[in-house]
Amino acid sequence: MTSTVQPGAPTATEPRTSRFTRRPRTTEESPAHWSVKAAVVIICFFWIVPAFGALITSFRNEADANNSGWWTALNPANWGSFTFGNYHDAIVNAQLGQAFINSLAISLPATFIPILIAAFAAYAFTFMQFPGRDVMFLIIVSLLVVPNFVAMVPLLQIYGSLGLGGTFVSVWLFHIGFGMSLAIFLFRNYMATLPREIIESAKVDGASHYATFYRLILPMSTPVLASFAIFQFLWVWNDLLVALVFIGPGENAPLTVAVKNNLIGQQGQGWNIVTAGGILTLILPVIVFLSMQRYFVRGLTAGSVKG
């Protein structure tokens, strides 16, 4: 008489387990070492405290800001001296309102145009076969080591001969050109991780490259597109050197140039207006980062490892 073993039942050589058996703790589940937590706390402290002090100073009047530290404003007895007049002076008198619009007019095209062009190029480098594809990609990636300031003098001469000096177009072209290499590199690495079965199925169904790109690749590449958008927007928005060289002070000056020319010279009269202008430059980048941070790590780490 032969005995049968029920499917899924433990054999004599297999240890009996139950749902109450404790699984071994993996590396991902292990808690961080206390030194890592302490380092994070210290870094956050040195980042947050100065920003918080600038925020408090931006609401203080000129006499208080010049004669006492910002921490004295934490006393509830001094809260009655807080004022929004610093922001009014920064926006109206220092003309930061127009500079804010100029920064938007510079940052938005300089962010979306390279994303669109680089996404096309990354699709070609990933899913299309053509002679010299790998060599061209290697050349584009090698351009990442070229610093942007080496091209400022020749580009300034070219823009001057074309009548583009002091215009938004000159800054757009500069940021688009130097942001394209990083964008193509990130997008291509991310698209290489996408399942090729979907692309092959689209080809079988008769979809063209344009239909495949717009209906499949772009929606699936949202994390990396958002990650680069954060980088590019913050880089262009906070840029001073390029804006100062190609635009300079005037009616087209962005926030960074306007703060430098219209507010920094007033710091002897009161830090309150200077800090108000600094807070105005921080508002939009913080909103952009917080609204798109869920895509940040996923978009940058895709394609870095296999598995």
Q: How far is CA 23 from CA 15, 31, 80, in A?
A: 14, 16, 58
pLDDT for position 31: 66
Question: Residue 276: CB partners within 8 Å, gap ≥ 6?
Answer: 58, 86, 87, 89, 90
In a domain, 19, yes or no: no
Given a contact cutoff of 8 angstroms between Cβ atoms, the answer to whether 239 and 179 are in contact is: no
Same domain, 120 and 72: no
Please enumerate, as own/partner, the contacts of 207-215 that have beta carbons within 8 Å and a separation of 24 or more. 209/123, 209/127, 209/128, 212/127, 213/119, 213/120, 213/123
Q: Distance between CA atoms of 211 and 217, rounded to whole angstroms?
A: 9
Q: Is the distance from CB of 302 to CB of 224 less than 8 angstroms?
A: yes
Per residue in 222-234, pLDDT (tens digit) is: 888 888 888 899 8
Based on the domain organization, do 101 and 38 belong to the same domain? Answer: no
CA 108 to chain centre: 13
Least confident of 2-16, 39-53, 154-168, 169-183: 2-16
To the nearest whole percent, how much of the chain has pLDDT over 90? 13
- Span of 138-142, 208-212, 253-257 with lowest mean pLDDT: 208-212
pLDDT of 270 strictly over 80: no
Number of domains in the chain: 2
Q: DSSP class of residue 217?
A: I
pLDDT attached to residue 42: 92
Q: In this prediction, what percent of the chain has a pLDDT beyond 70?
A: 83
Six token digits for residue 95: 């003309």
Mark whether 127 and 175 lie in a shared domain: yes
The arithmetic mean of pLDDT across residues 187-206, rounded, is 84
- Judgement on whether residues 75 and 110 belong to the same structural domain of the protein: no
Examine residue 162 and state whether it is found in any structural domain, yes or no: yes
User: Please, which pLDDT band fits residue 59 given cuts at 50, 70 and 90?
Assistant: confident
49 and 189 belong to one structural domain: no
Return all residues near 93 (Cβ < 8 A) that are at least 6 apart.
none
The tokens for 226 are 């958002």
| 94: confidence class by pLDDT, cuts 50, 70, 90 | confident
Q: Is residue 65 part of a domain?
A: yes
Mean pLDDT of the chain: 80
Residues 120, 245 share a domain: yes
115 and 229 in contact (C-beta within 8 Å)?
A: yes
- Note the pLDDT tens digit of each residue in 121-141: 998 998 888 888 889 999 988
Q: Is 145 in the same domain as 276? A: yes
104 — pLDDT class (breaks 50, 70, 90): very high
What is the Cα–Cα distance from 106 to 282, expressed in whole angstroms?
16
For residue 133, what are the domain limits?
A: 97-301
Q: What is the pLDDT of residue 220?
A: 87
Q: Is residue 255 domain-shared with residue 127, that is, in the same domain?
A: yes
Give yes or no: residues 156 and 266 share one domain: yes
Mean pLDDT of 97-125: 91
**Res 106 pLDDT > 90:** yes
Q: Residue 297 — pLDDT band, cuts 50, 70, 90? A: low
**Rounded (10°) angle between helices 96-127 and 133-142:** 150
C-beta separation of 5 from 13 below 8 A: no
**Among the listed residues 77, 78, 86, 80, the one whose alpha carbon sits nearest the alpha carbon of residue 59:** 86
Contact 59, 275 (CB under 8 A): no
* pLDDT value of residue 163: 86
Q: Considering the domain boundaries, does residue 307 fall inside one? A: no
| Residue 280 structure tokens | 């105005």
Q: Are the beta carbons of 65 and 57 closer than 8 angstroms?
A: yes
Q: Check which CATH number belongs to the domain holding 285 and give it.
A: 1.10.3720.10
